[in-house]
Structure 1
Amino acid sequence: MQILTLKKLVIGTGLVSVAIIAWADADPYAMHMEENRKVAQEFMQKLAGTLKQHIESAGTESAINVCKEVAPALEKQYSTDGKLVKRVSLKPRNQSLGTPNAEERVALENFDKQQHAGGPATLELATVYQDASGEEWFHYMRAIPTQPQCLQCHGKTEDIAENVKALLAKEYPEDKATGYSVGEIRGAVSIRQKIN
Structure 2
Amino acid sequence: MTMHIRRTLAAAVALAAATGVAVPADRAGAQDAEAADVPQEEVKAARGLVKTFFQELKGELTAAIKEGGPTHAIGVCNEVAPRIGGTLSAESDWSIGRTALRVRNPRNSPSPRERAVLKSFQQRHADGEGFKTMEDVAVIEEGGRRYVHYMKAIPTQEACLACHGTEVKEEVLNAVDENYPADGATGFEKGELRGAFSLVKPLPTN
TM-score (structure 1 length as normaliser): 0.83
Give the Å deviation of 1:116: 2.2
SS in 1 for 2:195: strand
Structure 2 matches for 1:168-187, cutoff 5 A?
A: 168-187=176-195
Question: 2:8 aligns to what?
Answer: none
Q: Which residue, 92, 109, 131 being the options, matches 2:103?
A: 92
- Asked if residue 40 in structure 1 is aligned to residue 50 in structure 2, the reply is yes
- Asked if residue 124 in structure 1 is aligned to residue 138 in structure 2, the reply is no
Map Cα deviations across residues 84-137 of structure 1 (whole Å, 9 max, x no partner).
000001001011x210100100000111111222212321010002222x2211
SS in 2 for 1:79: helix
Identity among equivalent pairs (%)? 34
Question: 1:65 aligns to what?
Answer: 75
- Asked if residue 161 in structure 1 is aligned to residue 169 in structure 2, the reply is yes
Read off the aligned partner of 1:138 and give its amino acid letter.
Answer: V
Give the Å deviation of 1:66: 2.1
Number of matched pairs = 171
Q: Which residue, 30, 40, 47 being the options, matches 2:40?
A: 30
Cα distance in structure 1, aligned partners of 2:121 and 2:98: 14
Q: Which residue, 32, 52, 60 being the options, matches 2:62?
A: 52
Q: Which residue, 75, 88, 93 being the options, matches 1:82?
A: 93
Cα distance in structure 1, aligned partners of 2:38 and 2:33: 12
What 5-or-longer segments of structure 1 have no aligned partner? 1-6, 10-20
Question: 1:8 aligns to what?
Answer: 33
SS in 2 for 1:59: helix
Structure 2 matches for 1:116-155, cutoff 5 A?
A: 116-122=126-132, 123-132=134-143, 134-155=144-165
Cα distance in structure 2, aligned partners of 1:58 and 1:78: 27
Read off the aligned partner of 2:33 and give its amino acid letter.
Answer: K
- Change in Cα spacing, 1:138 to 1:177, as seen in structure 2 (3 Å) is same
Read off the aligned partner of 2:79 and give its amino acid letter.
Answer: E
Identify the structure with the greater helix proportion. 2
Give the Å deviation of 1:29: 0.8
- Change in Cα spacing, 1:84 to 1:28, as seen in structure 2 (3 Å) is closer
Q: After TM superposition, what 4+ stretches of structure 1 lie above 3 angstroms from structure 2?
A: none
State the superposition RMSD in angstroms.
1.5
Note if contact 2:75-2:179 (Cα within 8 Å) is conserved in structure 1: no
